[in-house]
Amino acid sequence: MFRNYVVTAVRNLLRHKLYSFINIASLALGLACAIFIILFIRDETSADKWVPRSARLYRVDMTAHLPGRPPINTAQTSFPVPALMQERIPEVTAATRLRRLPITLTVGNRQFFETVDSVDPNFLQVVQLPLASGDPAKVLSQPESLVVSEDTARKLFGDMNPLGQTVGVNRTDCAAADEACRRNPIALKVTGVLRNLPATSQLVADVVMPNNSVADPYSRFAAQTWLAVDFYGYVALTPNASPQAVIAKLSPLLDRAMAASVRTLGQNVRGSRLFEVHLTPFADAHLASAGYISNMTPPGSWITVYGVGAIGAVILLVASFNFMNLATARAMLRAREISLRKCVGATRRQLIVQFLGESVLVGLCSLVLALVGVEIFLPLYEGFLGRPLAFHFVGDWPLSLLILAIAIGAGLFSGSYPALALSGLRPAIVLRANSSGQAGSGHLRIILVVLQFVVSIGLGIAAIVVFRQIDFARNIDLGFHHDNVVVLSAEALDPNSRESLAQVLRSTPGVLGAALSNKVPFKDNAPVGLARLPEWPNAVSVARLMISPELPRLYDIPLVAGRLLSIGRGEDTLTNNNFSADPANEGHNILINVSAASLFGYAPQQAVGKTIIYNGNHVNIVGVLGDVNFSGAMDRVTPTVYFNDRNETTKLQIRLSGPNTLSTLSSIDKAWHAFAPATSSQRYFLSADFEQLYRSAEKQGVMFEAFVYIAILIATLGLFGLAAFTAGRRTREIGVRRVFGARTHDIAFLLLWQFSKPVLIANVIAWPLAWYYLHGWLQGFAYRISLNPLYFVGVGAFALLIAWATVFGHTQRVARANPINALRHE
C-alpha cells in the first residue's frame, strides 16, 4: 500500500507540473529562509554558553542614576566592587576584573597596535577561556607575561612557536622629561596561546596581560576609585546562590565604602542608589546588553532574535498557505478520483494518510531544494552578518533533525485542510454532479491570499521606513562638520609632545587644522561632571569635554555668544578634577553649549560672564557654542561643559583638505613617528565611526527588504497558480457572458477585481500592524521621521500592481477567447 501511495503521489506531481513547481518552489523558499534564520538564532543564543562553569559566572554591571539625566546602563563597574564582593559576601567564591588598554607591541623592528585586555592574574581561572597552549593557573602568574590568541600569534610571530617569545611594550607612566624611560620598552614573555573566540562572545581576548605588570600603571592606583566606572568585573557564585540575595548584601557595603566619594559630589544619596549594581549571567550577557554603553563587543538583542524568528515563521506559513490554497482549489480536479476510491472501499483514514503523504513528499522535495540554496548562498549570508555560520549536515545532526522535522511539519500543515476536505467528499453527489460539492472553501482561499499579502505589505512598509530613517539620520544637521577628519590616538605622548605634534601637523600640506580632545564624536558617551548655579542647592549632571582651543574651529561649531578659549590665557585652562574641588581651578573659564545655557535658565547672550559651580569650583562662562550632537540621531543633545585640560586631551583630530589624501596621510605618519618612534600610529577616518552608527539599523532594513522580495515572490507564485486555476474553472461562465454582450475589458475587469479584493483587505489589516511596530521602532531615535501615509499607500498600491501583473495574462487570454470554444469547455 505504501508503494501505491508513493507512485500515486509522484504521478500527481508529474501530471500537474505547474502546480507542483509552484508548491515546491514556494515551500523551498520558505524552508531556506527558516534555515538561515535558525542558523542566526543558534549563533546568537549560544554565545558564551560554551565557557565551562558559565552557569555560576556573572558580569558585574552598573546603572548610574545621575542628577538631571535618565538612568545610564553600563556593562562596566568600578575597580573595587568585585573585590569587595569576594571579600565580604560568602556566596561569591571568586572575582576578577578586566580593563582594555591601547598598547603598541614591538616584535623585532615591527610595531603592532593592539587593544590589550589587562586582567587580574586569576582571570583565566575564573573565566575559563580555552587555551591552545599553557596552564590557566600559571600563564598569568608572572607580572611581565602575555597571552595571545591564535590569530594574534600568527600576526606577531608567523609560523614560529609563540611560547617563550618576547614582546616589547612602551611604558606609559614616564615623567614628561624622562626620555630614557619612554625609549626603553618593557619586555613581556608569551606564556600561553588562547583559542580564537567566536564573534558573538562578549570578550575579545586577542592579547591578555596581568594588571600587576609595569605596562599597566593605572590599575595600581584604582583600588579606591569608586566613581570611575571603567572596568569589566566578573564574579563566580556558589551553586545555589541567588544573585538578588548577593546584591541585597552588597548594597549596605557599597553605602559605607562609597560614602566619602559620594560626599565629594555634594549629593545626599546612598552609594548603592547612585551606582546601582546588577549581576548579569555570563552566558546571557551578549543578548542582555542591548541598550548598555561600553560593551566590549557589539551586543545582540532578544527583540531581534524574537523578531527574526517570527519573520521566519511567517515566511514559512506564507509558503504553506500557497500549498494549502492550491491544493484546496484543485480539490475539484480530484473529486472523481476520491469518489471512485471510496466506492471501492477506501476509508477516510486511508485517504487522509494518502494526501498527507503527498504533502510530506512535497515538503521533502522542497527541503532538498532549500538545502541546495542554503549551500549556495551561505557565504553571502555570512558576509552580510560579518561572522561565520558553519552548517554541517552530519556534524550538526541535532540541527539537521530539527530542519527535517520542520520540513515534514510544513508538509503536514500544508496538506492538513486539503486532506480533510478531499477525504470528506460524498461519492454519490460528486459522481452525479461531476463536481466536488462541498470540498474546498472559496472563503478559505481568500483568507489565505489575504494573509500572504498582509505579510508582504507589512514587511514592505517596514523596509521603506527603515531606509528612510537611516537616510534621514545620515543627513541630519548634527551642528558640526565631520567629513575629511582623521583621528589619531596620542595617549603615548606627553601633553607637550601632543601639542607640538598638532602644531607640526597644522603646517603640513593638505592639513586644514588640528585639535585635541578627550573624546571624539560617535564614540562612547562623554564623561560626566556636576554643575549648578551658586543659588541652587543641588547640582545636575552635564557632559564634560576637554578640548584644545582650536577644536570648535576644526569642526565648524558656531560660536553663538562670547568668545572661544585661548591658548595664551592661563585662566582658560581647567584641571579635570573628577568631582572634587581643586583650588587651582577657582575662577577659571569654560565654554558651554546652548542646551547647558538653557538648563541654567539663560539665553546664550545672558550666560556669558555668569559664574557656575562645576565639580566644586566656581568657574566663569566666557562663551556659548551651538548645540552639536556627537552621538548621531540616536540621542538628543546633552548639556555640555567645554574646558581646556591639556593632560586629558589625548585624541588628536586632523582635518584634511581633500586632494592628495594618501600623501597627506603619509606625512601624518612621518610626523607621528618623529615624536613617537617606538609607538605604532593608530589613525582612522571619523566617517568610519559615523557609518558604524547606523550599521545595525541598516542591516535590519536590508533584512526586511530581502524578506519582502521573498514574501512577494511566494505570494505571486501562489496567486499565479490560483489565477490559472480560476481562469480555467470560469471559462464556461465567461463564454456565456460574452454571448450576452460582455466586452473584453468588462471580462478582464471582472477577473482583476476578483483578485484585487484580497489585496485591498490585506492593506486594511497590514497598515495598523505596521504602524504599531514602526512607531515603537522609531522611538529608539531621538531625531526621527514621521510615519508618512504615502509609505503605506505606496506599498499597498505596489502590492495591487503586483497582483494585477500576476493575473493579467490569464485574464486577457480568457477574456479574448472565442465564446464558442468556451461554451464547449467541459
- For the cut 50, the answer to whether the pLDDT of residue 437 exceeds it is no
- For the cut 80, the answer to whether the pLDDT of residue 783 exceeds it is yes
Which residue carries 597571552 as its cell? Answer: 147
* Of 635 and 56, the one with more pLDDT: 56
From its phi and psi, is residue 172 left (phi > 0), alpha (psi between -120 and 50) or beta? alpha
* Of 173 and 407, the one with more pLDDT: 407
439 — pLDDT class (breaks 50, 70, 90): very low
Which of 76-80, 543-547, 696-700 has the lowest average pLDDT?
696-700
For the stretch 389-404, pLDDT in tens is: 878 887 788 888 999 9
- CA distance linking residue 786 with residue 797, whole number of Å: 20
For the stretch 218-274, pLDDT in tens is: 776 666 678 888 899 999 999 989 999 999 999 999 999 888 888 777 677 888 888
For the stretch 636-668, pLDDT in tens is: 888 999 999 988 899 999 999 876 688 899 999
> What's the whole-number mean pLDDT along residues 455-483?
87
> What's the whole-number mean pLDDT along residues 9-19?
66
* Of 65 and 16, the one with more pLDDT: 65
- For the cut 80, the answer to whether the pLDDT of residue 578 exceeds it is no
* Of 181 and 691, the one with more pLDDT: 691
pLDDT at 721: 66
How much is the pTM?
0.83
pLDDT at 691: 84
> What's the whole-number mean pLDDT along residues 772-791?
88
Backbone φ and ψ of 346, nearest 5° = -70, 135
Q: At what angle do helices 744-778 and 442-475 cross, to 10 degrees?
A: 50
* Alpha-carbon distance values, 787 to 227, 476, 633, 709, 790 (Å): 42, 17, 17, 22, 8
What ranges make up the beta strands (E) of 203-361?
A: 207-210, 229-237, 275-281
For residue 378, what is the enclosing H or E element? helix 348-385
> What's the whole-number mean pLDDT along residues 18-40?
86
pLDDT at 438: 44
Using alpha carbons only, what angle is made at residue 67 by residues 66 and 70, rounded to the nearest 5 degrees? Answer: 65
pLDDT at 230: 87
pLDDT over 90 for what percent of the chain?
39
- For the cut 80, the answer to whether the pLDDT of residue 331 exceeds it is no
Each domain of the chain, given as residue ranges in start order, spans 2-43+303-473+695-824, 54-301, 493-678
pLDDT at 446: 76
> What's the whole-number mean pLDDT along residues 85-103?
94
> What's the whole-number mean pLDDT along residues 199-220?
88
Asked if 264 and 579 touch (Cβ cutoff 8 Å), the reply is: yes
For residue 193, what is the enclosing H or E element? strand 186-194
Backbone φ and ψ of 161, nearest 5° = -70, 120
For the stretch 345-355, pLDDT in tens is: 677 777 788 77
Q: Terminal CA-to-CA distance of the chain, rounded, Å?
A: 33
> What's the whole-number mean pLDDT along residues 449-465?
86
Average pLDDT over the chain, rounded to whole?
84
* Of 794 and 69, the one with more pLDDT: 794
790 — pLDDT class (breaks 50, 70, 90): very high
Using alpha carbons only, what angle is made at residue 688 by residues 785 and 377, rounded to the nearest 5 degrees? Answer: 80
Set of cell numbers at residue 757: 479584493
- CA distance linking residue 361 with residue 23, whole number of Å: 11
> What's the whole-number mean pLDDT along residues 89-111?
91
817 — pLDDT class (breaks 50, 70, 90): low
pLDDT at 549: 94
Set of cell numbers at residue 299: 551586543
pLDDT at 806: 74
pLDDT at 440: 46
* CB within 8 Å of 16: residues ≥ 6 apart: 330, 333
